[in-house]
Structure 1
Amino acid sequence: MKKLFLFFSILLSVNLSGQNNVLSLSEYIGYVKEFHPIVKQARLVSTEGEIKLLKARGAFDPKISVDYDRKKFKKTEYYDKLNTTFKIPTWYGVEFKANYEKNTGIFLNPEANVPDQGLYGAGISVSLAKGLLMNDRMATLKQAKLYTQQANAKQRLLVNDILYDAIVTYFEWLKNFETQNTYDDFLKNATNRLEIVKKSFDAGDKPAVDTLEANINFKSRQLDLEKAKLVYIKSKLKLANFLWLENNLPLELEDNIVPDIKTLDNVDTSLNINNDVVSILNVNNHLKMKSLNYKKESLLVNKRLKFNNLLPRIDLEYNFLTPKFNELANFDTSNYKGGLNVYIPLFLRKERAELKLAKLKLQDIDFVISASRMDLNNKMRTIDNEIASTNRQSKILTNLVVDYQKLVKAEERMFILGEGSLFRINYREVKLIETRLKLIDTKNKFLKSKASLYQMINNQDQSDEKNKTIQ
């Protein structure tokens, strides 16, 4: 009861229709967007990407290190060594460094001897081949940025998939509601017809077989209605899976909550579909294509890294040295510490294999992109054709329903006048029921096509379209 009260307290714009409360499509979508747990969970995907990006940027953080080592034995100071270093990594394979070194003691290694006040140094290390234009640090940061963009695209795709499923479920609920109403209407007709036939039999105007046939028709309509009610209840329970409140509280729909029977007339407004929005549809702007392109760019970064690993490692380091801190700004090339490290694998089998694997992954993603582009193109054409075709079918079926209704009424008049038969009335009515159900089913297919169009529109990344960067 508490959940029901809470539901009606937040349902601000419920339309009343008789004793039923109408849940419109736009209201329903609003609650799914706001409270559905999977929609909330999807937002974590982009958060994860931002965290990974922050982690990758940490590789370029400045670093301070302090090494202190001392040995004293039997009142003799063997050594007391202090070495502090401050490093600043940069985007390319260049690293700036400043350090201070002070060493004392009797048993110092001669190369560790420094002036009494210590020794200051400032310098640079450069990777001249491998690691200059591309290295693990650079690749990780680039891939993290691409992963963040890809994660945002995946998040929107996931949310739009949930919204699509929710909308289709609403349309199924509406279809089953109209089907139930259809069988309910014809049960009333069967009930009235049975009463009329009974009265005619009592008056001696109709044979007993007519009452039997009317009763059979009445029971058949009862059975059809019960089946329709069961299907309707199932669809309503399925719909409730998409309705939640705050604090992940599931919502249960009461029996008097019904769908909006005017959904077909208002579907474009509820889904915000118009010609201007439809005109921007472009396969290249689809979030799936964007996600795949981000993945391809990440693989290209990986390929460049693997290619760079084929180069020899040549690291050059130069450090200017001075015993006075205030002299750091005045370089004296005669006081320095430098070095050159060269590392060249002879066969490069590991590096060549990794490069080939990187190229294979790029070929694979190219195949996926081509197949996805074709699939999305065909899907867009299919949606257009479905909307146009189901719209034409609905008009034809509407006319057929009107014609069958006229036939049933004509047969009923002839039956009352004693010229027709109950069998022919039932036969005509069965065809009328079949046609009405076909009309309901066709309208449902039309609405589902609109849902697919809505999903296709929402899956468009319009940022590039606004900037006119998509070719």
Structure 2
Amino acid sequence: MTFKKILFLFACLFALPLMLFAQQKNDSLQVKEFSLQALEELLMAHHPVIKQAQLLSETAKAQILTSLGGFDPALRSSYQEKYFGNTTYYSNWNNELKIPLWLAGADLKIDYDRNVGPFTNSQYATSPRGLSGVGISVPLGQGLLIDSRRNTLRQARAMLGYAEAEQVKQINTIWFTAVQDYWDWYYAFRQYELLREGVGLAEKRFQAISMQTVLGDAPSIDSVEAAITVQERQIELEKYKVDLQNSRLLLSNHLWNESRQPVELPDYAIPATVDSKKMQPNPEILNNLLALAQEQHPDLLKLESRNLQLQIEESYRKELLKPRLNLEG
């Protein structure tokens, strides 16, 4: 094996740990103290489900724009001509601009016709300058109160309220689960810290009793009992360490970076210290939240939007039972 190959192998061996460290660095958050506010910022900014939920209202708004297309003006034009043997038999040019109006399902019409030639039907013949006119069509029966285009638009607007309520519901569900996992991690960390302190105290007690046993101030059985206590607490500490690790992994399920890649909370991260006084719920705030939930709960808003959609559809179906009668002028 040549010297260059040996040098290349050593370079690869040294580079491999660096590559693994870089990969681990990209897959984990670089934080020491992780607060609930930091969790909220990461969640709202990068969580894929929340990003997807934010598209619900945008989709509903796009549906409204689509339904507004039913009120766009429509231009129709046709041209017919017969020319044979250096003779123009007829030349018919008909144009119509139809403008839907919001009121009563009426349509405003603007016409321009130019029908000339010796073989043009006298009923439709015009002067060489053509003939223009303005008219309006108003439904007196079916379509007066609601028609297809107004039904579609109202349904789309009601759907916007439904989509916004569904968006809030999905975000609340994700946030509620994330907060639960955060406090589970917080509780597991505090338990682990208390038990680790207990292990330290048990070890100090064992050392003190062992010293007394050596000096003859305490029986040997006391040192045995103290040693058993240390072992029991160490075993319990390992169990709490596993619980802490599991709670940290559960919390990491909610963490994503700017590239929409999952990231993991590092082992050395600790929850932010919380003032116990600030954790006490304010009764006034709780009452306001309960009152707000009774009026603005996403499920209630979804039911209201759905009920509105059904009412609109019912009105439209009843309108279809009326006879068609249009007034044109």
- The normalised TM-score by structure 1 is 0.58
Residue aligned with 1:225, SS: helix
Q: CA deviation at 1:215?
A: 4.0
Q: 2:43 aligns with which of 11, 32, 44?
A: 32
In structure 1, the residue matched to 2:287 is 278
In structure 2, the residue matched to 1:150 is 162
Note closer, same or farther for the CA distance 1:232–1:102 as it changes in structure 2 (3 Å cut): same
Q: How does 1:446-465 map to 2 (within 5 A)?
A: none
The CA distance in 2 between the partners of 1:304 and 1:281, in whole Å, is: 35
Aligned length: 304
In structure 1, the residue matched to 2:171 is 159
Percent of pairs with identical residues:
31
Q: CA deviation at 1:107?
A: 4.9
Asked if the contact 2:106/2:138 (under 8 Å) is kept, the reply is yes
Q: Per-residue displacement from partner, 1:70-109 (whole Å, max 9, x unpaired)?
A: 3445655454321111111112221110111122345544
The CA distance in 2 between the partners of 1:226 and 1:69, in whole Å, is: 92
Q: 1:119 aligns with which of 123, 131, 135?
A: 131
Note closer, same or farther for the CA distance 1:204–1:7 as it changes in structure 2 (3 Å cut): closer
Residue aligned with 2:127, SS: coil
Asked if the contact 1:87/1:96 (under 8 Å) is kept, the reply is yes
Q: CA deviation at 1:139?
A: 1.1
The CA distance in 2 between the partners of 1:230 and 1:208, in whole Å, is: 34
Q: CA deviation at 1:305?
A: 0.5
Q: How does 1:127-142 map to 2 (within 5 A)?
A: 127-142=139-154
Question: What letter matches 1:275 in structure 2?
Answer: E
Matched, 1:189 2:201: yes
Q: 1:300 aligns with which of 311, 318, 327?
A: 311
Q: CA deviation at 1:130?
A: 0.9
Residue aligned with 2:279, SS: helix
Q: Which structure's relative contact order is higher, taking Cα pairs within 8 Å and 6+ residues apart?
A: 2
In structure 1, the residue matched to 2:59 is 48
The CA distance in 1 between the partners of 2:204 and 2:286, in whole Å, is: 50
Asked if the contact 1:24/1:263 (under 8 Å) is kept, the reply is no
Q: Per-residue displacement from partner, 1:5-39 (whole Å, max 9, x unpaired)?
A: 9965xx7xxxxxxxxx3222233323323333322
Asked if the contact 1:201/1:207 (under 8 Å) is kept, the reply is yes
Task: List gaps (5 residues or longer) in structure 2.
Answer: 1-21
Note closer, same or farther for the CA distance 1:87–1:216 as it changes in structure 2 (3 Å cut): same
Note closer, same or farther for the CA distance 1:292–1:5 as it changes in structure 2 (3 Å cut): closer
The CA distance in 2 between the partners of 1:277 and 1:102, in whole Å, is: 74
Asked if the contact 1:25/1:263 (under 8 Å) is kept, the reply is no
Note closer, same or farther for the CA distance 1:27–1:274 as it changes in structure 2 (3 Å cut): farther
Q: CA deviation at 1:132?
A: 0.7
Q: 1:315 aligns with which of 316, 320, 326?
A: 326
Question: What letter matches 1:65 in structure 2?
Answer: R
The structure richer in helix per residue is: 1
The CA distance in 2 between the partners of 1:6 and 1:83, in whole Å, is: 70
Matched, 1:90 2:101: yes
The CA distance in 2 between the partners of 1:200 and 1:152, in whole Å, is: 72
Q: CA deviation at 1:185?
A: 2.5
Question: What letter matches 1:225 in structure 2?
Answer: L
Asked if the contact 2:28/2:263 (under 8 Å) is kept, the reply is no
Task: List gaps (5 residues or longer) in structure 1.
Answer: 12-20, 319-471
Asked if the contact 1:129/1:312 (under 8 Å) is kept, the reply is yes
The CA distance in 2 between the partners of 1:191 and 1:77, in whole Å, is: 116
